Amino acid sequence: MRRTRPAVRVMAGIILAAALVFFLFPVIWMFLTSFKTQAEVFASPPVFIPGQWNLNNYAGALLPPPNGSGGWAGIRDSLIVSLSTAVVSVAVGALAAYSLARYRVGGQQFSFWILSTRMFPPVASALPLFLIFKELKLLDTYEALIIANTIFNLPFAIWLLKGFIEDSPAELEEAALIDGSSIFGAFWRITLPLITPGLVVALLFSFIFTWNEFMFALLLTRKAVRPLTVIIPSLVGGHEILWGQIAAAGVIAIIPGTLLALFLQRYIVRGLTMGALKS
């Protein structure tokens, strides 16, 4: 056993604790701000602990106008768009990944081309996409956001699932094919159950990426569809910025990501690197 000297460990602990304060402070500050009154937010020197722990900001952020800022509808829109995007990305991605992993369709160049589309700057395709959706009368609809987000999640889903499929044995599928199963039958009944963890990781990450996405949400929507990431900046009103409500909406917005960070650590490396690294 390799042991680290106790003194070194204590030092490491102290430095890490200091770093952790830096990385968690904004989150904690947001949590505190979400309970402050507007006067407390603007106080100088700053108020650290809010005077009263009530849910006024949460109500204000969530209730529909005129009483609030419409956060409920935002959560609903974000959920619809993120869930649909996750399901479509993983469905389309799994089929493609299976074909790439098991049949090498298009060869390695094609796989890498798919990877390279991940590097495509969204802003470069935002204008053409905007124009297409305008012609199709899809601006300000769930469909537009789902399509745009799916396209940008696909390379991720394909590469992640391709890695999972390559890691699982092909013999069972071969046996099924010899026994007369169709490719889709082999894929559906044998491959998919084998890569269940991969499907879960791909679903969760596609969900989070879409939940957190801002540019398309901003550019492709107007009034009918307003995801949470668009509602939050809209709280910067003409005459005053509702910091308490922004913080309350922020606390709600980070719940899915925080849960993922806390409970799915095992798969996070693989998810964040599109399967390039495993841990």
Partner 1 sequence: MADKLAFRPRTIRFSIASSVERRYRTTAVLFVLPALVLLLAITIYPLIRTLSLTVMAQELTVSPDAEYVGLQNFQKVLADGRFWNAMQNTSFLVVVGVAIQLVAGTGLALLLSEIGRSRSVWVSLFLIPVMIAPVVAGFQFRVILNDSFGPLNYLIKWVSGGLISPPAWLADPKTALFSIMLTDLWQWTPFMLLIVLAGLQSISVELLEAAEVDGASYWQTFWRIKIPILLPVIIIGILIRLMDTFKTFDLVYLLTGGGPGSSTETIAYYTYLNGFKFFSMGYTAAMAFVQLVVIILVSRAFLAIQNRQQKVG
Residue 172 binds partner 1 (CB under 8 A): no
Residue 54 or 265: the one with the smaller Cβ distance to partner 1 is 265
Residue 141 binds partner 1 (CB under 8 A): no
> CA triplet 261, 94, 198: central angle to 5 degrees?
30
Site map (CB under 8 A) of partner 1, residues 76-115, x = contact: ----------------xx-xx-xxxxxxxxx-----x-xx
Q: How many chain residues touch partner 1 (CB under 8 A)? A: 114
> CA triplet 142, 145, 146: central angle to 5 degrees?
80
Residue 55 or 215: the one with the smaller Cβ distance to partner 1 is 215
Residue 254 binds partner 1 (CB under 8 A): yes
Residue 131 binds partner 1 (CB under 8 A): yes
We find the least distance from the C-beta atom of residue 242 to partner 1, in angstroms, to be 11
Footprint of partner 1 on residues 25-54 (CB under 8 A)?
A: 25-27, 29-30, 33, 41-46, 48
As a whole number of angstroms, the distance between CA 214 and CA 227 comes to: 9
Three-state SS string over 58-107 comes to HHHHHCCCCCCCCHHHHHHHHHHHHHHHHHHHHHHHHHHHHHHHHHCCCH
Beta bridge partners of 236: 241
Residue 169 binds partner 1 (CB under 8 A): yes
Residue 66 or 216: the one with the smaller Cβ distance to partner 1 is 216
Residue 44 or 66: the one with the smaller Cβ distance to partner 1 is 44
Footprint of partner 1 on residues 234-253 (CB under 8 A)?
A: 243, 246-247, 250, 253
Residue 125 binds partner 1 (CB under 8 A): yes
Residue 223 binds partner 1 (CB under 8 A): no
**Polymer length in residues for the chain:** 279
- Ramachandran area for residue 275 (φ above 0: left; ψ -120 to 50: alpha; else beta): left
As a whole number of angstroms, the distance between CA 49 and CA 47 comes to: 6
We find the least distance from the C-beta atom of residue 223 to partner 1, in angstroms, to be 17
Residue 189 binds partner 1 (CB under 8 A): no
Q: Which of 136, 200, 215, 224 binds partner 1 (CB under 8 A)?
A: 215
Residues 6 or more apart from 269 whose CB is under 8 A from it? Answer: 277, 278, 279
We find the least distance from the C-beta atom of residue 30 to partner 1, in angstroms, to be 5
Residue 66 or 257: the one with the smaller Cβ distance to partner 1 is 257
As a whole number of angstroms, the distance between CA 167 and CA 183 comes to: 19
Q: Cβ-count burial of 68 within 10 angstroms (0-12 exposed, 13-18 middle, 19+ buried)?
A: middle
Neighbours of 128 (CB within 10 A): 9
Q: Which of 4, 53, 135, 223 binds partner 1 (CB under 8 A)?
A: 4
